[in-house]
Amino acid sequence: MINTFLNLPRFYKRVISIASDVVVLTLALWVSFGLRFVEFWVPSLDHVMVFIATVVTTVVVFGRMGLYRAVVRFLNDRAFMTIVGCVVASSIALVVYGYFFQVQVPRTVPVVYGALAFIFVAGSRMGVRLLVQAPAQRNKIRVAIIGTGDTGRQLASALSHGTEYRPVLFITANSANHRATINGVPVFDIRHIQKGVARYDVNRVLLALDEDSLGDRRAILEKLEPVNVPVQTVPSVSELVSGKARINDIRDLEIEDLLGREPVRPDPKLVESTLQGKSVMVTGAGGSIGSELCRQILRHKPKRLVLFEQSEYALYAIERELKSSNTVGGYGVELHPILGSVTHRRRCEAVMKAFDTDIVYHAAAYKHVPLVEHNIIEGVQNNVFGTWHAAEAAVAAGVERFVLVSTDKAVRPTNVMGASKRLAELVLQGLAKRQTGTIFSMVRFGNVLGSSGSVVPLFRDQIRDGGPVTVTHPDIIRYFMTIPEASQLVLQAGAMGQGGEVFVLDMGEPVKIADLARKMIRLMGLTEKTEDNPVGDIEITYTGLRPGEKLFEELLIGDNPQWTSHPRVMMAREVSLQWDEVSKLLDRLALASQNFDCERILELIDSAPTGYTPNGDLADLVWCHRIKSVGGSRDGGDGKIRVIY
């Protein structure tokens, strides 16, 4: 019957609503007069005329106030306030019509009538709404909301009107609110979360903390891990304000929730003074770090932002996103998407000169350790020579600042990727000594959570697929940062650099990868499958260290870092080379690359002050295949290098 009513055309719904209001208003009038005269009261003709005039006037007022256009399923507080106003107007009309038709209207009748009219009109609509929503509520996913602040209450309201989730429980860290209710939803102290989840049959937990309570997230997540219910979150306030997301956009936990420490914040005034009104270029603008750099830079309102990227699709995607943000935020920044490779010096120089570039953030690089280990020459070409060519172009174009995005894998590297980034640092340090027109600085940080190749999205996909979750070694540890945090650090370093510095971040304690995997399994509502728990959901398997991988990473080569004006940013004191030495090394690397001689490249890397100590054999796929195809001789038996590309 309810579904039949809902599927009726709007005109028939309005007719039914008007007819029901006529009935309940007439009933309210009759009861209010009957109560006054005590005995069974039969209205006179004059009373009937007053009734008809009052009911018609009330229905007209209801129509004018839009009550018949309101969808019953979505009635809110404003609709009920409208009913109150209309009922007051109806009571006044009753008095006026009583005077007009010379019918005695006792003083208590309008008051009783108004109260009954509100109860009947509002109650009938409330009853219909409950009947309509009851079947849908039963089919919704039952959720508990962590947080009783504005964010939590807004989320509960949005979900109540949605079709997927039903808030059945609030969880709070404030024990004083235990056993209270918010809009009829009970509130439990987080210490009793397991009892609350079991009692209300919660299927999912949603994290909806206000900005001023973000410091509690780590402690809250630790208490949520044993509950074995999937934990998800809602968008941040900044995303809601910018229009990127809605309050009821439920998604997996934010990457920073898994970080286990407070993110490092930059000095906004220093960064803004460096970027505002400047012409800025980002190489590798479509990558994980490069794209976030562009987002952060845009908010500081530079004069123009040049997006330099060799991947056409990546460039298209970041340009489209930034155009939208630029319009919504009203930043007024010129955006210039440029296709190109950092290995082409003349292209880089032409772009920098064309847009009168003041600052370059060099994020273009190959960063995936095993892939670079299997493609040594391309890794060196992109990471070492790409940095050199972009830097020389910056010098020729008169760029004020050039900031290199480096990595903790450049410290005592065991792989070609890390060694190539250390060589890139040496190149910039040498250029900083050779000239003073361009300020070169480098910023070094750990693994970036959520970037391409990061373990977090990999683990998440493996968990959703039913496992197993693959970890290379049970004892492997890493420093971690979020993408926004890493990007902000790059901007901070760019503003602080004076020439040739290597900036590193005090990243707190490193994270054990196996523990990170276990935390993700538990926070997705599953259990780990082990020998002690053979009926668990997800198994963790260990695959062994990959080529060039080591158990732990470091951020400093030396032991005496120098602190800077930022409390969490340090400046490394490390060995560097004069430009003449760097130039000779680059010439030798170029010759070895032209001859496709991977062994010679590794020898040159080892001879430079990189600290390179490989933990395995040469793993370049093409080189190894060639050695195998010629019977183990690197020169084919005739003393000549075989160029097989």
Q: What is the pLDDT of residues 331-340, one digit of tens each?
A: 999 999 999 9
Higher pLDDT, 343 or 72: 343
Identify the pLDDT of residue 416: 92
Q: Quick one: pLDDT at residue 404?
A: 93
Q: With a cut of 60, say whether residue 248 has pLDDT above it.
A: no
Which pLDDT belongs to residue 398?
Answer: 95
122-126, 139-143, 271-275, 546-550: the lowest-pLDDT one: 546-550
Question: What is the C-alpha separation between 326 and 589, in angstroms, rounded?
Answer: 42
> How high is the pLDDT of residue 454?
66
Which of these ranges, 141-155, 356-370, 559-573, has the smallest mean pLDDT?
559-573
Kindly state the DSSP code that residue 177 receives in the 8-state scheme.
Answer: G
- Cβ-based neighbours of 559, under 8 Å, separated by 6 or more: none
Q: Scan for tokens 């906004």, then name that residue.
A: 268
> In this predicted structure, what is the pLDDT of residue 10?
65
Residue 557 confidence (pLDDT): 46
Q: Is the pLDDT of residue 634 over 70?
A: no
The β-bridge partners of 143 are: 167, 204
- Give the pLDDT confidence score for residue 306 in this predicted structure: 97
Confidence label for 353 from pLDDT (cuts 50, 70 and 90): very high
What would the mean pLDDT of 372-376 be, rounded to a whole number? 92
Helix 386-397 vs helix 345-354: crossing angle, to nearest 10: 40
pLDDT above 80 (res 73):
no
Over 218-275, what HEC string results? HHHHHHHHHHCCEEEECCCHHHHHHCCCCCCCCEECCHHHHCCCCCCCCCHHHHHHHH
Q: Is 618 helix (H, G, I), strand (E, B) or coil?
A: coil
Q: What confidence tier does 401 reach under pLDDT thresholds 50, 70, 90?
A: very high
Band the pLDDT of 344: cuts 50, 70, 90.
Answer: very high
More confident residue, 111 or 393: 393
Tokens 């709007």 sit on residue: 10
Average pLDDT, the chain: 80
Higher local confidence (pLDDT), 574 or 374: 374
Residue 639 confidence (pLDDT)? 40
Residue 455 pLDDT > 90, yes or no? no
Residues counted in the chain: 645
CA within 13 Å, CB half, 378: 16
Per residue in 189-235, pLDDT (tens digit) is 888 888 888 888 888 888 877 765 555 666 777 777 777 788 877 76
- Measured between alpha carbons, how far is 544 from 524 in angstroms, rounded to an integer? 26
What is the pLDDT at residue 64? 82
- Higher-confidence residue: 435 or 74? 435
- Give residue 644's pLDDT band: very low, low, confident or very high (50, 70, 90): very low
Higher local confidence (pLDDT), 278 or 271: 278
Residue 561 has a pLDDT of 65
Q: Is the pLDDT of residue 94 over 60?
A: yes
Q: In the predicted model, is pLDDT for residue 77 greater than 70? A: no
Whether the pLDDT of residue 312 is over 60: the answer is yes
pLDDT of residue 636: 43
pLDDT in tens, 524-544: 778 888 888 888 888 999 988
Per-residue confidence band for 447, with pLDDT thresholds at 50, 70 and 90? low
% of the chain surpassing 70 pLDDT: 79
Contact assessment for residue 549 and residue 370, using Cβ atoms and an 8 Å cutoff: yes
Quick check: 638 pLDDT over 50?
no
Model pLDDT, residue 350: 96
Residue-level pLDDT at 366:
92
The proportion of the chain whose per-residue pLDDT surpasses 90, expressed as a percent, equals 26
* 425 alpha-carbon distance from chain centroid: 31
Q: What is the DSSP code (8-state) at residue 579?
A: H
| Sequence-separated contacts (24+) of 265-269 with Cβ below 8 Å | 265/488, 266/488, 266/489, 266/491, 266/492, 266/566, 267/492, 267/495, 267/565, 267/566
Query: Worst-scoring range by mean pLDDT, 1-15, 164-178, 443-457, 472-486?
Result: 1-15
| Nearest-angstrom CA–CA distance, 362 and 358 | 13
**Residue 202 to residues 138, 149, 166: CA-CA distances in angstroms?**
13, 20, 10
Instruction: Give the pLDDT score at 426.
Output: 94
| 589, pLDDT greater than 70 | yes
Q: Name the pTM for this structure.
A: 0.65
pLDDT band for position 271 (cuts 50, 70, 90): confident
Higher per-residue pLDDT: 614 or 269:
614
Annotate 274-299 with b (16+ C-beta within 10 A) or e (fewer). bbeebbbbbbbbbbbbbbbbbebbbb
Between β-strands 511-512 and 477-478, what pairing exists: parallel, antiparallel or unpaired? Answer: antiparallel
Q: What would the mean pLDDT of 290-304 be, rounded to a whole number?
A: 91
Contacts with 571 (C-beta within 8 Å, 6 or more apart), sequence order: 501, 502, 503, 504, 561, 562, 563, 564
More confident: 295 or 566 = 295
> Which residues are within 8 A (CB) of 308 and not within 5 positions of it... i.e. 6 or more apart?
281, 282, 283, 284, 285, 338, 340, 342, 348, 351, 364
Count the Cβ atoms, other than its own, within 10 Å of residue 115. Answer: 14
Contact 402, 391 (CB under 8 A): yes
Banded model confidence at residue 369, pLDDT cuts 50, 70, 90: confident
Lowest mean pLDDT, pick from 305-314, 418-427, 560-569: 560-569
Higher per-residue pLDDT: 477 or 314: 314
Most confident of the following: 245-249, 282-286, 491-495, 637-641: 282-286
Measured between alpha carbons, how far is 508 from 529 in angstroms, rounded to an integer? 30
pLDDT at 521: 85
pLDDT band per the 50, 70, 90 thresholds, residue 107? confident
In this prediction, residue 642 has a pLDDT band, given cuts at 50, 70 and 90, of: very low
Tens digits of per-residue pLDDT, 596-630? Answer: 999 999 999 999 988 888 877 888 888 887 776 66
Residue 175 clears pLDDT 80, i.e. is over it:
no
Whether residue 310 is predicted with pLDDT greater than 90 in this model: the reply is yes
DSSP string, 443-507: EE--EEETSTT-HHHHHHHHHHTT-PEEES-TT-EE-EEEHHHHHHHHHHHHHH--SSEEEEE--
Q: For 499, what's the count of Cα atoms within 13 Å in the CB-facing half-sphere? A: 11
pLDDT at site 641: 39
Low-confidence winner among 254-263, 341-350, 415-424, 453-462 (lowest mean pLDDT): 254-263
